[in-house]
Chain A
Amino acid sequence: MITTEGLTRRFGDLVAVDRLDLDVRKGEIFGFLGPNGAGKTTTIRMLAALIAPTSGTAEIAGKQLGAANREIHRRVGVLTETPGLYRRLSAWDNLVFFAKLYRVTDPAGQAERYLKLFDLWDRRDAPAGSYSKGMRQKLAIARALLHEPEILFLDEPTASLDPEAAKVVRETIERLRSKERTIFLCTHNLDEADRLCDRVALFNTRLIKVGEPAAMREEMYGRRTVIHLVDPRPGIEDALNLPFVKKIDRIDEALVVSLNDPERENPLLVERLVELGVGIRYVNELRMSLEDLYLDLMEDGDATA
């Protein structure tokens, strides 16, 4: 749905996006993660045919960037970092205006549909400026969806929102998940990306890594089981040195055991501990967060840059 090859954008001497190669699949929520100033917004602007790349090529919804920009505008929806609403106009006027610009067949019908979908129908005649931040963000998402785009670009959709409003927006994005629509989610909220995205790309001017969050975590850290012991006696690590155990670390009263297949190997570990007469408080999987992964990879990226 989105394919880029060597996509680069310079502003004078500054390289904002450096040789970006991406392949975003139809129907997935694709997280584009990176720190402030990484070039995420510039990337979205290039992919939405708002600014031209300095070099490289891209195909967006089957259309060549540069050669069919107006067609790309028809096929993508963009939620910019700030909602960008006409504050003096009502929510209804805002949506109908954009629906007409997109030449939607039934602008009024489509505005009604999305106002109802996002629970804004009762306040449709109120000026957008009187809306709360969360409502404005929902209205902006509705605007980006009016023309039923194949690709939806969301640039920091929950930035500057309070937790409640952010939750509403996240739930809205979740509701938009569809086989027919690709969502390109630009964020530095890693928890949000972890919850919503099928795949993520870590990016800081250049692409650092792409993959499914779980698979990336597994690749980076492996799978680890934490066993909290009642009486962690010395030397227990040696007694647990079973053939499938890759590594054992001790953290306070717990053992952190690196495994290949915890579903099969955890019962064997517990069995061995019971044989040794070691009391077990509880056993759980050590899940590294996407934040851990992000910080480690960004550090590596900085080191290799």
Chain B
Amino acid sequence: MQRLSVILIKEWREALRNKMVLFGVIFLPLFLVAFSVYMVIQGGDTDDPIAQIVLFNTSLMYFLLLPAIIPLAIAVYSIVGEKEQATLEPLLATPISDLELFLGKALASVIPALAINWISFGVFLGATRLFVGSVPLQTLTSPWIASIFGLAPLLALFSVLVTMLVSSRASDARAAYQFSSFAILPGIIPLIVYSSRKTLVNLMLVGIEAAVLLVISAVLLYFAIRVFRREQILTRWK
């Protein structure tokens, strides 16, 4: 698995030199954190406690979207980029195993997505404390903590697997991006539930979503590993 770290470092080096990836990985989180903090400040300016809770809850939703959106940008360019540059064949001619290549590509997207998401969340909490005076702990409930730290990795994994499968069939990054973008849907579910006002985000809802994501991800993983075989890559990928 030493080669895994070699792949990871190469992937990140390439991503850092790609403006499109950088936009998705740096600008988007910055924007969402700034917007979240702005909403919380707006809530702090009102005397209506319900409005404060609504605005804070809406801000927290963004930290379920980021882990789905960030891997999309990295994974699309990681795979379509290899195709566009015709680098897959020389890469597959090395003694790297199919699994190492697959894991390298997947983790190169998941790790930064989670790291950036959690750092953004930390920045958001810090900024909230700075501008509002305190973090409303009655709103930052255990289902939210479970979502941001437990559900987020599954959302990132789901997003990566969908993107890898779509990218293996796509010939250009834009098409892959468009077709993969439905991978952020599971991240919107808590937002839909919350907006419907039928129930609050609760642990059971988070647990059900996690279980469903796990099952779907297991199926996607099975197909993704099959797609990531040398022979498949060289003869079937377009």
Which residues of A line the B interface, CB within 8 A?
11, 45, 48, 50-52, 70, 73-74, 76-78, 80, 82-89, 93, 97-98, 100-103, 127, 140, 143-144
Instruction: Tell me the complex Cα distance, A201–B86, Å.
Output: 27
Given contacts A50-B92, A101-B94, 10 further A-B contacts (CB under 8 A): A51-B235, A77-B93, A80-B93, A85-B85, A97-B6, A100-B6, A101-B7, A102-B95, A103-B2, A103-B95
- A48 contacts which chain B residues (CB < 8 A)? 93
Q: Is the CB–CB distance between B14 and A73 below 8 Å? A: no
Q: Which of A11, A51, A76, A144 contacts B230 (CB 8 A)?
A: A51
A51 near B231: Cβ-Cβ < 8 Å: yes
Q: Is B198 an interface residue (CB 8 A)?
A: no
Partner of B94, one of A45, A88, A102, A140: A102
- B3 near A101 with CB under 8 A, answer yes
- Near A by CB (< 8 A), chain B positions 3-25 give 3, 6-7, 10, 13-14, 17-18
Closest partner residue, chain A, to B235 (CB atom): A51
Residues on the B chain within 8 Å of A82, using CB: 86
Q: Is the CB of A73 within 8 A of B89?
A: no
Which residues of chain B have C-beta atoms less than 8 A from A83's C-beta?
A: 86
User: Given A11-B235, A52-B231, A93-B13, are A86 and B92 neighbors across the interface (CB < 8 Å)?
Assistant: no
Closest to A42 in B: B235
In the complex, A144 Cα to B94 Cα: how many Å?
A: 9
Is B178 at the interface (CB under 8 A from chain A)? no
Q: Which of A50, A93, A101, A144 is most buried by chain B, counting CB atoms within 10 A of its CB? A: A101
Known: A51-B231, A89-B17, A97-B10. A78 touches B95 (CB 8 A): no
- How many whole Å from B233's CB to the nearest CB in chain A? 9
Given contacts A52-B231, A73-B94, A101-B95, contact A88 B18 (CB under 8 A): yes
CB distance from A30 to the nearest CB of B (A): 18
Check A80/B89 contact, CB under 8 A, given A51-B235, A93-B13.
yes
Pairs of residues from A and B, 8 with the lowest C-beta to C-beta distance, nearest first: A88-B17, A78-B93, A101-B94, A73-B95, A84-B86, A82-B86, A100-B6, A80-B89
* Main SS at interface, chain B: helix
Given contacts A50-B234, A51-B230, contact A86 B85 (CB under 8 A): yes
User: In this assembly, does B96 line the interface, its C-beta being within 8 Å of a C-beta of chain A?
Assistant: yes
In the complex, are the beta carbons of A45 and B87 less than 8 A apart?
no
B18 touches A86 (CB 8 A): no
Q: How far is the CB of A238 from chain B (nearest CB, A)?
A: 62
Give the residues in chain A near B89, CB-CB below 8 Å: 45, 50, 78, 80, 84
Which chain B residues lie closer than 8 Å to A144 at the CB level? 90
Residue interface mask B196-232, A partner, CB < 8 A = 1: 0000000000000000000000000000000000110
Q: B92 to chain A: which residues have CB within 8 Å?
A: 50
A78 near B90: Cβ-Cβ < 8 Å: yes
Per the bound structure, the CA–CA distance linking A292 and B201 in Å amounts to: 79
B3–A70 touching, CB < 8 Å: no
For B3, the chain A residues whose CB sits under 8 A away are 100-101, 103
